[in-house]
Amino acid sequence: MGTLKKTSKDGKWEVLGSKELLHIDSRMTVSVQKVKLPDGRIIDDYCRVIFPDCVIIAAVTKDKKVVMSRQYLHGFGHASIVLPAGTMNKGEEPLQAAKRELLEETGYDSDDWTPLASPYSHTNYVGGKVNFFLARNARKLAEPDSKDLEEMEILLLNETSIIKNIKSGNIVSMGSITGLALAKLCFNAPGIRGMRRSTGPV
C-alpha cells in the first residue's frame, strides 16, 4: 500500500465487537460491527460485506480489438457485454488467475501481461480486491470452457464499438468499464507503459 501524509482525519475506528450474519463458502461473508469513532461516537450496526478477490482482464489482439463476451447477468437481470473476469482460487496468484480466467472464458491467451491496478470494490464495506490486467497480443488457442452458468458469445470489439456500447447501455459493468479505461490509459500514457510487466510462465 502506498503512503499518504497523515492528517487529523486519518484516525482509525476501534472495533468493539463483531457478529457474523452470513457466510456462503468462499462467495460472501456479511458481518455487523460495533465501532467507536475517533470523536467518541459509537456505531452499533456498521456492516461489512466481504467478497473474494478477483481478476478482470482487458485482452487486446494484434489488430487492437478487445476480447469481450455477451452474456446474461442474473444480478443485473439482462444480457450485457463484459470483460473476462472471475474470482481467484485459494492460494492462487493474481496473474495465474487472470491467465486461467482468460483462457477458460474466451479461449484466448497472451505472453504479454501488464498489471494495471488492484483497487477494492467497495472501500466502505470492504468488498474484495479487484486485480486488473492488460494482456497484449492476445491470440485464440482453444474454445471457451468456463463451466459457468452463463452462455457466452465471444466478441472482438474495436474502440469505436466499445464507446458506442457503453453509451447505449450494452456495457454496464463498473468493473469492465474500469478495466477498459485503465487499458486505454496504459496504451496512451508512455510513463504508464513502463509499469512492471509479468511475462513468462507462472
* pLDDT score of 149: 57
Of 82, 69, 93, 181, whose CA–CA distance to 134 is shortest? 181
Taking the model in full, what pTM does it have? 0.84
Determine the CATH number of domain 54-192: 3.90.79.10
Of 90, 134, 140, whose CA–CA distance to 113 is shortest? 134
pLDDT tens for 121-146 read: 888 888 889 999 999 999 999 888 86
More confident of the two residues 8 and 163: 163
- Res 46 pLDDT > 90: yes
More confident of the two residues 150 and 151: 151
* pLDDT score of 196: 41
pLDDT tens for 26-45 read: 788 999 999 999 999 999 99
Sign of the CA dihedral with 3 first, then 135, 137, and 153 last:
negative
- Res 201 pLDDT > 50: no
Cell of 167: 453509451
pLDDT tens for 66-123 read: 999 999 888 888 999 999 999 999 899 999 999 999 999 999 999 999 999 999 988 8
Give Cβ neighbours of residue 118 (< 8 Å, ≥ 6 apart).
Answer: 94, 129, 130, 131, 132
Strand partners, 82: 69
What residue ranges do the domains of the chain occupy? 13-50, 54-192
